[in-house]
Amino acid sequence: MVDRFRADQVPLSALAPEHALRRLELQIVRRLEGFLHGEHLGLLPGPGTDLAEARYYLPGEDDVRRIDWAVSARTTIPHVRDVIADRELETWVLVDLSPSMHFGTAAMEKRDLAVAAVATMGLLTFRVGDRFGGYVLRRGTLKRWPARSGRLALFGLLRSLLRDSGDGRGAAPMSLSDAVTGVARAQRKRGLRVVVSDFIDLADASTDPNTPPSWEKAMRELAARHQTIAVEIIDPRELDIPNVGTVLLEDPETGEIRELNTGSRKVRQRYAAAARIQRERTARALRRAGVAHLILRTDRDWVADTARFALKHRRVAARLHSPPTG
C-alpha cells in the first residue's frame, strides 16, 4: 500500500493544482443572495441587506441612519450596525472524515482525496469578497470552521483537515444525515453547499436498491434552499476484491473483524453486487434530491475528473438544480 499523505510532506499546491483549475468555474444557476442579475460579480461597494456586527459610530464617515439605537442605549456610546454586502457568494462545505474515509489502496487515502476535493471547490468558486466555510464530521462530532474570505482562510481550513490524522474510532456516532441536517438548518443564507463523503452510513444496511438512504431527506432539505454538489469518494477495493485467499477484514466504523475467503468466486460476486447496489442507491438518491453528483476515485486522475464535471455542469446545472420533486 502506498504511503499516506501527511501535512508536513505534501504541499497544498499538490492537492489542488491551481494552474489546472483556474480556467474552470462552477456555474451558479439558482437564485443566490450576493448575486446581481444572476451573475457573480464579486464584492462591490455599497450597502448590503444582511446585518453584521455593531461598531463605534464615526462622525462624518458613517450615515446616522445606520445607528443601532438599542446597542447605543445599552453602552451609552453611539454604535452603527455594519451590513454584509449582498454581492458575495457564501460556500459551505461538509467534509465527512468518519473512520471509513481513513482507507485507501491506490494513489492516496480517501481522506486525502476529500481534502483535495475541498481545495478544488474552494479554488473553483473563489472571487474577491466571497466567503468559504466548512463543517467537519470527525470523531463523532460536527466541528464548524467559520466562513471567511480570501485564500488564506481556505488554506487554513485545508491545513486543519490535514493536520488531524485521528480515525475517530470509539467516538459517539453521528450520522451523515444528522450532519447534513445540521448544516442545512445552521446556514440559512442561500449559497453553494458541497458535501464530500463516501456516503457509507451504518444506518444503510439494506440490499434493496429501491430503499432510499437515511441521508436522502436531509439532502433534499439542503438542496431545496441552496445549490448543492455531492462529491462521492471511492476506493477501487470498495467495488470489488481480488482473489488473495483467506483474509481478515476490519470494519473501520465498528472495529468488527471478519474472516473472508476471497478465493471463492461466489463471495467475490456477492461483494461486487452489494457494492454496486450501494452506489446505485447513492446515485438515485442524489438525483431525486436535485443534487449534482461528482465521483472521485483514489485510483484515477481526480483533477481531470473534476474538470470534466465542471464543464458538464455548465450545460446541465439548470436541470440538476431545479427544486426537488416530492
Rounded to a whole number of angstroms, the distance between the first and last alpha carbons of the chain is: 45
User: C-alpha angle with apex 15: 151 to 255, nearest 5 degrees?
Assistant: 115
How many other C-beta atoms can be found within 10 angstroms of the C-beta atom of residue 167?
A: 19
Write out the H or E segment, with its range, that includes residue 160: helix 151-163
* Beta-bridge partner residues of 91: 132, 192
CB 241 within 8 A of CB 257: no
| Residue 3, all three cell numbers | 504511503
Instruction: Return the CA Rg of the chain.
Output: 22
Cβ-contact 241, 273 below 8 angstroms? no
| Domain regions of the chain by residue span | 12-34+88-320, 50-84
Per-residue pLDDT reduced to its tens digit, 228-245: 999 999 999 888 888 888
CA dihedral 193, 197, 199, 201 (to 10 degrees): -110
Residue with cell 462624518: 60
* Continuous segment of H or E residues that includes residue 192: strand 192-197
CA atoms within 13 A of residue 282's CA, in its CB half-sphere: 25
Distance CA 211, CA 135 (A): 28
214 to 52, 99, 186, 226, 288: CA distances (angstroms):
36, 18, 20, 20, 14
CA dist 174 and 188 (Å) reads: 22
User: pLDDT per position in the chain (326 positions), as tens?
Assistant: 334 444 445 565 666 665 555 555 454 444 344 433 344 433 333 444 455 567 888 887 778 888 889 889 988 999 887 665 545 678 899 999 988 888 888 888 899 899 889 988 888 777 767 889 999 998 778 888 888 888 788 888 888 887 755 554 545 567 899 999 999 988 878 888 999 999 987 666 666 777 889 899 999 999 998 889 999 999 998 888 888 888 888 777 777 888 888 888 998 999 899 889 989 999 999 999 999 999 999 999 888 888 888 877 766 555 545 555 54
DSSP string of 129-141, one letter each residue: T-EEEEEEEETTE
**Is 144 in contact with 133 (CB distance < 8 Å)?**
yes
- Options 3.90.550.10, 3.40.50.150, 3.40.50.410, 3.40.605.10; CATH for 12-34+88-320 is 3.40.50.410
